[in-house]
Amino acid sequence: MRPLLIAVAVAASTIPFTQIASAADLPRATPVYAPPPSAPIYSWTGFYVGGNIGYGWGSRTVNFTPNDLNVFVASCGGSFGSTCPPPASFDINGALGGPQAGYNWQFNQNWLLGIETDFNWSRLKGTGTDSFLIVPGLFPGPSNFVASQNVEWFGTVRGRLGLLPTTNLLVYGTAGFAYGRVGENVALNSQPSANGTLAGFSFVCLSGPNCFLGSSSRMAAGWTAGTGFEYALSNNISVKGEYLYTSLGGDSVNVVAVQWFAPASPSSFTAAFNRISFNVVRVGLDYKFGQ
């Protein structure tokens, strides 16, 4: 055993010191690690549901026209200084809110197409008054029409074209079909005892207020267009702000004398409401299914 150990020691002593030092200077192997998996890219494609709350406002005009010779002579005809009823103009405004649902298709990194429908309960309403002179017997007296309108609810079905400046931010334009239920009421108030009978038509305003009355509740249809933005807070939740301009069809209300002299027929006016146009600003929250 000793002769073997001595031989190894002798062999080692014959290796030059410089060779041992250069071996120590050899570079060490660098460990190689697999790259971490990349985060999934957010996609807007999919169905979503949500809700919104907002505010609406607009301007209204109502024009009044006599329907028979009797009230024409007693007002627009100028009998004893009577005058034609001017239009009544007023504003409608109020809160609104409801659910929405839709589908987005993101067809590339920067653009998407979508469709959305919504339904909104509404407190959009307002009242306007005009002033004119109508003949109370032989002398004209102050009278006025009071007209009111209420958008009870409305809904839309719209297309959307969206631009994605960043992965999580959507800016879009939108347009489509709009519909709603609208209520309208009109009353003519005059001096007590105002009356008239001519050409088979008659009216009697015994108390003065609510001498003529008319109302309607109807479905109206039209169009809407606007713009908005939406920001994805997570894979499923997004918040948005939106502006819409909505225009629905107009309507006419027959405003008929409450009392009249028989056998004549009751006199009446037509109250013509122009198109219902209003602005909407609202904020919403959406939940997207999937991902």
Per-residue pLDDT band at 30 (split at 50, 70, 90): low
Joined tokens for residue 34:
């697999």
Residue by residue, DSSP assigns 72-118 as HHHTTT-GGG--PPPPEEEEEEEEEEEEEEEEEEE-SSSEEEEEEEE
pLDDT tens column, 224-271: 999 999 999 999 999 999 999 999 998 999 999 999 999 999 999 999
Side chain identity at residue 100, one-letter code: Q
- Contact present, 99 and 155 (Cβ < 8 Å): no
Percent of the chain at pLDDT > 90 equals 73
Closest CA to 145 of 275, 276, 272: 272
Q: What are phi and psi of 48, to 5 degrees?
A: -150, 155
Question: Backbone dihedral region of 81: left (phi > 0), alpha (psi from -120 to 50 degrees) or beta?
Answer: left
**Helix or strand run (H / E) with residue 144:** strand 141-166
Residue 42: per-residue pLDDT: 81
Per-residue pLDDT band at 65 (split at 50, 70, 90): very high
Strands across the sheet containing 265-266: 194-198, 201-205, 265-266
- Between the alpha carbon of residue 197 and those of residues 124, 139, 201, the distances in Å are 39, 14, 6
Q: What span, in angstroms and rounded, lies between the C-alpha atoms of 213 and 199?
A: 21
Mean pLDDT of the chain: 88
pLDDT of 50 above 90: yes
142 vs 104, higher pLDDT: 104
Q: What span, in angstroms and rounded, lies between the C-alpha atoms of 45 and 289?
A: 9
Residue 135 burial by Cβ neighbours in a 10 Å radius (0-12, 13-18, 19+): buried
- Contact present, 207 and 190 (Cβ < 8 Å): no
20 vs 74, higher pLDDT: 74
Q: What are phi and psi of 10, to 5 degrees?
A: -65, -40
Residue 209: per-residue pLDDT: 93
pLDDT of 20 above 60: no
pLDDT tens column, 193-212: 888 899 999 999 888 899 99
pLDDT tens column, 114-169: 999 999 999 999 999 999 988 765 556 789 999 999 999 999 999 999 999 999 99
Query: What's the predicted TM-score (pTM) here?
Result: 0.81
Give the mean model confidence (pLDDT) for residues 215-219. Answer: 95
